[in-house]
Structure 1
């Protein structure tokens, strides 16, 4: 009897955007003089896909996520060609294949959304970040609140599923302001929101300003209050807080991200993309592609940095990702991937966390209670 195919997702990184945001530390660069090699980049991604063909045998395609950067700026023909190439590369494709494209309100049009839908995209993730103009200016965004709302409504008119990104923790932001943002987003018909705290990353413009004492940062107490208020607002809508930074109406969870958080295999394509594929119990390979778009375009062979993962690395990854979700980490599934019981070597730490209420175990599932999510990083760190 043949074994079940391994569910596998694909992430495609599009490294260009209209303008680099001051808080962004992703591997992206602003478009200069319309210099994006649309078809050339599609050729490079498909070339990489072909070079990884042997690793795709016996796998079923579960989801595709185009991230960036702003992949909605990719020429429709080039993106469509890439999407079709990916689906053709797998012998098996899920009947519920989820295809997501990230986009920004400043560049999303109804026509563009319709073209993406015709190409096979079924979900848009719109980088709204805020619906207050003062916050949008602070964040260096190219759109205003009016355009953000219009973009969400246009996306919903053309696309079966739409998610919005929302940021909180801007200096001086009030609970009422965040609550109003959430209500206005939900009013558009959006049924999924990724809500992130503003984080000052070292290698960003905000990082430089903060080091120079020119950027005021919200205190931790404000972040905690805003996080808890967001949770209350989404609960009032009847949504589920299914991952630390993600909320959804019933059935609207991101299947791509859930697969990733649950330790599923994924192929990373494009400049700076990261992938991780299992090669039997206790063995996995993670790679990171060259972050420089020009070098990536010129490569004839795979030029990724490769890291071999053993049982302990697989278990640590499962703890870091799985405990972010409302369901938690599945111990049996992790043992199958790692080739050993994930509790071995950390029995005392797990027992202590259970006694303190920082962990709860129900059957094969080990999770962090939602009322402890603000302490999640420390709880996970104590298990290492």
Structure 2
């Protein structure tokens, strides 16, 4: 079945080591909780770094006992605020992962960082520890907006941190949040074009989303904050795609843009539904057709380590239908889409058990998706409607 339409053309090189997997390490602590953040982050007055290093090492070793035979192709320190971690702690965890599994040649090791002067002062030591890629949370290039977003840095401090990052790391990405209340298209165009002049090869550009149980959600509920409407968000998304494409950083995922070869290899592991180990509070993992989840609250995680020898809260074997659904939900975020034949071989499901062919045809006729040579992609027109499209395209695993 072939349905030709204006399909995204950029293709991302796939890692050659099919047996490798990724490693995610979660550091749950922040100086303060941002009003838009629903990540597993916690503010604590005191942190026993020795205890946390010991606990994370135990968690790593547990995963090695389960899954010993595969090297690590990427390591990602997420949070929370991993740039608050002492560099020697980061070095010990990288060293342990290499000792247990082995790191592949050119292993990508990313650390998320806030652009404060205190954290930027650690960048040289973090690079020495083995980090070779940093993802910097600039979030905005306007001091009033940074205050609105609850960020601790100002623009000047953030740009100094960006310069410091570019001096110390081989690869640097930074985040911006757009579609903010009262943000005009002209304002966003000016801010984005300024950001593109900083010379990084990767940008993560996120529309402001009002997440449940955040301070922003409370403000919206009480009428104190009015988010941008859907039509305006769609216009801003289209503008973002046009500007980044023109500057040589096209989208390879719905919110991520990169020059060819500079895509986040770690995040591609998630989006391509390949195996990854997740350790640390609240970390999720997918390995050997099994979903793992760690205890979220730091104190509960430490108790589980002491009691059980790992921070695992739950482990669940996933059926082929669940894996196919997850793979489609992740993979259709990518401009390269999903190879349905490969997914069929991986899950043991027929194409009709994974996608609803009639709805695919309907969506293709509307220019929202393409199925060509068994590769399913969502078009640039469809990406802003991705959640609704996924609900239509993915087959009901019950067959109803």
TM score, norm. by length of structure 2: 0.89
Q: Is residue 2:142 matched to residue 1:129?
A: no
Give the match for residue 23 of structure 2: 10
Q: Deviations over 1:7-45 (max 9, x none)?
A: 21011110001110001011111232xx12222112111
Q: Is residue 2:269 matched to residue 1:264?
A: no
1-structure distance, mates of 2:339, 2:106: 23
Secondary structure of the residue aligned to 1:95 is strand
2-structure distance, mates of 1:59, 1:131: 42
The one of the two structures with greater contact order (alpha-carbon pairs below 8 A, sep at least 6) is 2
- Given candidates 42, 53, 74, the residue that maps to 1:63 is 74
- Structure 2, unaligned stretches of length 5 or more? 1-16, 395-400
Task: Give how far 1:108 is off.
Answer: 5.3
Q: Is residue 2:124 matched to residue 1:114?
A: yes
Q: Deviations over 1:161-198 (max 9, x none)?
A: 00001101111112222222222222222111111111
1-structure distance, mates of 2:184, 2:265: 32
Q: How does 1:285-364 map to 2 (within 5 A)?
A: 285-298=290-303, 299-300=305-306, 301=308, 302=310, 303-344=312-353, 346-364=356-374
Secondary structure of the residue aligned to 2:210 is coil
Do 1:16 and 1:69's aligned partners in 2 also have CA atoms closer than 8 Å? Answer: yes
Q: Is residue 2:377 matched to residue 1:367?
A: yes
Do 2:83 and 2:119's aligned partners in 1 also have CA atoms closer than 8 Å? Answer: no
Do 1:56 and 1:89's aligned partners in 2 also have CA atoms closer than 8 Å? Answer: no
2-structure distance, mates of 1:224, 1:108: 37
Change (3 A) 1:382 1:273: same
- Given candidates 224, 245, 251, the residue that maps to 1:214 is 224
Q: Deviations over 1:304-336 (max 9, x none)?
A: 222321011111111111110010012132122
Q: Deviations over 1:21-76 (max 9, x none)?
A: 001011111232xx122221121111011112233222121100000011010111
Q: How does 1:50-199 map to 2 (within 5 A)?
A: 50-90=61-101, 92-107=102-117, 109-199=119-209
Q: Is residue 2:36 matched to residue 1:27?
A: no
2-structure distance, mates of 1:39, 1:190: 35
2-structure distance, mates of 1:108, 1:311: 47
Change (3 A) 1:31 1:178: farther
2-structure distance, mates of 1:217, 1:357: 28
- Given candidates 283, 287, 310, the residue that maps to 1:277 is 287
Do 1:169 and 1:226's aligned partners in 2 also have CA atoms closer than 8 Å? Answer: yes
2-structure distance, mates of 1:355, 1:177: 35
2-structure distance, mates of 1:323, 1:271: 28
Change (3 A) 1:68 1:109: closer
Alignment: residue pair count: 373
Name the stretch that deviates more: 92-101 or 165-174.
92-101
Q: Deviations over 1:229-267 (max 9, x none)?
A: 111211221112111000112221101111110011010
Task: Give how far 1:129 is off.
Answer: 0.5
Give the match for residue 281 of structure 1: none
2-structure distance, mates of 1:339, 1:26: 34
2-structure distance, mates of 1:348, 1:175: 37
Secondary structure of the residue aligned to 2:122 is helix
Name the stretch that deviates more: 208-217 or 132-141.
208-217
TM score, norm. by length of structure 1: 0.93
Give the match for residue 213 of structure 2: 203
Output the aligned Cα RMSD: 1.6
Do 1:149 and 1:185's aligned partners in 2 also have CA atoms closer than 8 Å? Answer: no
Name the stretch that deviates more: 353-362 or 148-157.
353-362
Give the match for residue 241 of structure 2: 231
